[in-house]
Structure 1
């Protein structure tokens, strides 16, 4: 019976370690989702500002306007 107890104990340890790993990964994924949401909102804001700027000037957006002066 001692062998069974040892195997059960090992399985319990593995389960506990796996649960800890899952919790850590869950936290990381949640943090990454928050970061992604923030970046998407910032991109939306920049896009709106760009659209507003072009609407105020009456010009359509063109990539030629973004060419650096040294080209």
Structure 2
């Protein structure tokens, strides 16, 4: 194996590191994209659930008669 110049060896090492960094960046971008899709789905689900809750958050005024146990 021929003796490579130290600058060439350093350049090769930097190119390898840059390649790994690009791959990692692509993986992180994909992860962020998938997480954003999941966040968007969860926001839509929460919105649908809020539409199912009656106005006032279910804190409707009830009569004490409604609170009586069934045996009365």
TM over 0.5: yes
**How much is the aligned-residue C-alpha RMSD, in angstroms?**
1.3
* 1:12-67 superposed Cα distances (whole Å, 9 cap, x missing partner): 000000000000000000000000000000000000111xxx25xxxx322xxxxx
Give structure 1 regions of 4+ aligned residues with deviation exceeding 6 angstroms. none
Unaligned regions of 5+ residues in structure 2, if any?
Answer: 60-72
Unaligned regions of 5+ residues in structure 1, if any?
Answer: 63-71
Return the index of the structure with the highest Cα Rg: 2
* 1:3 CA displacement: 0.4
Aligned residues: 55
User: Aligned match of 1:7 in 10, 20, 32?
Assistant: 10
Normalised by the length of structure 2, the TM-score is 0.71
Higher relative contact order (CA 8 A, sep 6+): 1
Normalised by the length of structure 1, the TM-score is 0.72
User: Aligned match of 2:20 in 14, 17, 20?
Assistant: 17
CA distance in 2, matches of 1:7, 1:24: 26
